Amino acid sequence: MNPSPKSRTSRWLRTSVAVSVAALGLGGAGAGCLTRPLAKQTPNTTNVFIDQFNQDRVDKIDLLFMVDNSISMADKQVLLGKAVPKLVERLVTPFCVNPDDASVAPTAPPPGGCVSPLQQEFSPINDIHIGVISSSLGSHGMESGICGKESDDDHAQLIGSVRSLPPGASYDANGFLFWGPEKGGESDANRLKANFTTHITATGESGCGFEAQLESWYRFLIDPQPPKKIVKTDGLHSGPERDGNGNIIVNETVLAQRAAFLRPDSLVAIVMLTDENDCSIVDSDGQGYLIGAPSLPRATSACNENPNSPCCLSCAVPTAPSGCTAPPDDVECKKGGYSAEEDNNNLRCWEQKRRFGFEMLYPTQRYVNALKMREICPASWDLSCGNGAIGVPNPLFQDLQNTGKPPRNPDLIFFAGIVGVPWQDIATDASRDNPGEPLKYLKASELMSKGRWVDLLGDASTNGVPRDPFMIESERPRQGAHPFLPGVSITPYGGQRNPVNGSEWDPQGADLQYACVYELETPRDCTNQSQGCDCYKSTEKPLCNSKTQTYAKAYPGSRELTVLRDFGNNAIVGSICPKQPLGDPNYDGYGYTPAVSAIIERLKEALSGRCLPRKLAKDADGEVACRLVESYDPALTGGSCAACDANLLRTDVSADVAKALRKQLKEKKLCGGVGLPACEALCLCEYMDPGDAAKQACLNDPNSSQPAWCYIDDPNSPLLKDCGSTEKQLLRLVSSDSNRLPAAGATLSFACLGDAISE
């Protein structure tokens, strides 16, 4: 007679209860192989195995590039065009690695493939969509003037559909590229790489100077009702154009391109390339149209002292809150409106609240929420659904193609930025300090542990001022020493050049200081303004040798970096100022190749699906001693935790285990931090024993759809064919259409007893 599900669960867990309370760890959903030879010894509490593992082996990628197309971007686009084909090549033809020796560096495969004991780092990806969009979203409702030309608004549509490209440069009329040798897509890798370069260079550098780097990808991938046009809705506001019934007139082209591009079960990676800070202007019933106004009013005196003060107002406001000086009586307001010299269009997106008394940009949390939340409230500027508001499904987690497949897990969304930040600030120590070593970037978790985010963005302890003075946005020359580069300081114009941004200069109210600069491979003659040269009007820049531009520059990308920081471990940060911009394009350290390598290194954890790094102990009945707990942010399910349902193989977590798990999540900075859910608010459910029939199917049937989890250690099992020679073990999870393990949006934590390691 078989035990009841409850008694089976008790037996299955009995040897691991004590250690789980002390050492339960967080993992990504999945299957995971073991890496070291193990001695046969009795399991004990000193041999607890905790790791992360992936459930779904990814076989398709949707890769979206947001490329800044404002002036001064041409040289950066060329570098990207040289580097990204290497990314595509690495996905299509993965490197060879030694699964038994991590010290062996990955190498490109020889003709005929990897030679034993080497094997591919992950299975080749033969289904890749590649799209390119620009940063130009037009005038935001201003009828004429700045960004009012048709060419200033690409509508967040794919470049392949809004530029005149050679025949065959795009997969179809939707305007993206498709690598799919067995699926009707491109099968010639060289042609794919050439077409990608065509898309990048076609983006150009004549787009709108109010770069909407963040809003552009949001509008293409996520906005449930991407507007066809932004107009002034009344005398004070702008927003989407509406029909006679008050409904938003939707850009059907964007919806069609999104549905064709975005698969429900793909890995999604967004890559931004930009040399300026984000200027994503509010287009949903705000006052974004004012960004292109001939002049803007000043802000009250309180704004200079504290832009967050309730007394910080626009001088155009007639009254003030109690206790505040009325704007007509404010000393700053009595100066009258800004002159053209004081309010240069180049600086309209900089420190708006301090300078103008109101903010025209969307909050950065909007874009973090867009990448994480299964339901969003578009009427809210940050997309949150407060005060009982009912959200709408986030297209990023929908089956737009009606395939019947479950929506992707948030773990399969990655966000990369090649942005304005000194490469020295985000490099590993070894690659930073050794001039001849190819640049290697720190992971997002390493940026956090090393305190680099405070260097780049500041925090409460620095009053929000970056510790790295090169990352301070300022029109005036800055001062200060770099926080961890000995002997490197801000230097005045005309003095000895520093290795980060050359020097400060005097933009005379028309520009900001640079975060970093790099040498141009081909200097530009700036005698002719049409070339978009930085040395046309002013030659007193650290970029110029008289009328010849010899260096390119980037400004602090604080808004993009804030989103990358708050997005978490699936963020990848690179510098648009390369360490080695000159020399052999095939060199590993050239141009943006290090950024591409960082993207691959982060993606391949999801692409490979990992086997477990050691055997797991079993009891006398052959049951593995593990506990698996699913955790998720209640915001993903409308704000409350659903009851753990035994029909879905889930039961409530005991208080002691819940306490241990929340502690682990906090230590790993996966809850309780900026942009993360409160640890105490997380919903937790423990997996139950799935039963003999489901477990046997999990062990033996590659096509099983009976929800279950199982431990496979038979070295002859075909399910272990992708595991290394000493990694012939995995934890497998099987899902059905109605019961996904783990649930979409959830992460899986597990603790298991392992045999003692033989040293």
In contact, 733 and 30? CB cutoff 8 Å: yes
The secondary structure element, H or E, covering residue 303 is helix 301-305
Distance, in Å, from the CA atom of 374 to the CA atom of 393, rounded to the nearest integer, reads: 6
CB neighbourhood size of 508 (10 A): 11
The number of residues in the chain equals 759
Strands 650-652 and 230-232: unpaired
H or E stretch at 195: helix 189-203
Q: Are the C-beta atoms of 721 and 609 separated by less than 8 Å?
A: no
Count of H-run helices and E-run strands, the chain? 18, 23
Residue 199 has a pLDDT of: 95
Q: Give the separation between CA 643 and CA 650, rounded to whole angstroms.
A: 9
Both tokens assigned to 559 = 């808004």
What torsion, rounded to 10 degrees, do the Cα atoms 170, 174, 176, 180 define?
-80
- Which of these, 297, 564, 606, lies nearest to 456 by C-alpha position? 564
446 DSSP assignment: H
SS3 516: strand
* Residues in contact with 228: Cβ distance below 8 Å, sequence separation at least 6, in sequence order: 155, 240, 241, 249, 250, 251, 252
Q: Which residues pair with 573 in a beta bridge?
A: 417
Distances (CA, A) of 526 to 305, 443, 516, 530, 540: 40, 38, 21, 9, 13
pLDDT of residue 9: 33
Structure confidence by residue, pLDDT tens digits, 716-741: 888 887 665 556 778 888 888 788 88
Stretches in the chain below the pLDDT threshold 50: 1-55, 755-759
59, 62, 467, 678 from 461: Cα distances, Å: 44, 39, 10, 21
* Rg (alpha carbons) of the chain, rounded to whole number: 27
Neighbours of 481 (CB within 10 A): 13
Specify the pTM: 0.82
Cβ neighbours of residue 463 closer than 8 Å, sequence gap 6 or more:
none
With the CA atoms of 105, 64, 557 and 340 taken in that order, what torsion angle do they form, in degrees rounded to the nearest 10? 150
> Smallest Cα–Cα separation from 725: which of 283, 100, 124, 53?
100
Rounded to an integer, what distance in angstroms lies between the CA atom of residue 544 and that of residue 521? 14
Dist. CA 573–CA 511, nearest whole Å:
25
Domain ranges of the chain: 5-57+609-753, 58-223+252-281+362-419+578-608, 295-360, 420-577
- For 322-454, where are the E strands, in sequence order? 375-376, 392-393, 413-419
> Other CB atoms closer than 10 Å to residue 309's CB: what's the count?
16
750, containing H or E segment: strand 747-753
Is 385 within 8 Å of 378 (Cβ atoms)?
no
Which alpha helices (H) appear in 568-633, and where do they start and end? 593-608
Query: Is the previous residue joined to 742 through a cis bond, with omega within 30 degrees of 0?
Result: yes
Report the C-alpha gap between 118 and 107 in whole angstroms: 10
From the list 35, 519, 606, the residue with the least C-alpha distance to 269 is 606
The full 3-state SS of 350-371, as one line of letters, equals CCHHHHHCCCCECCCHHHHHHH
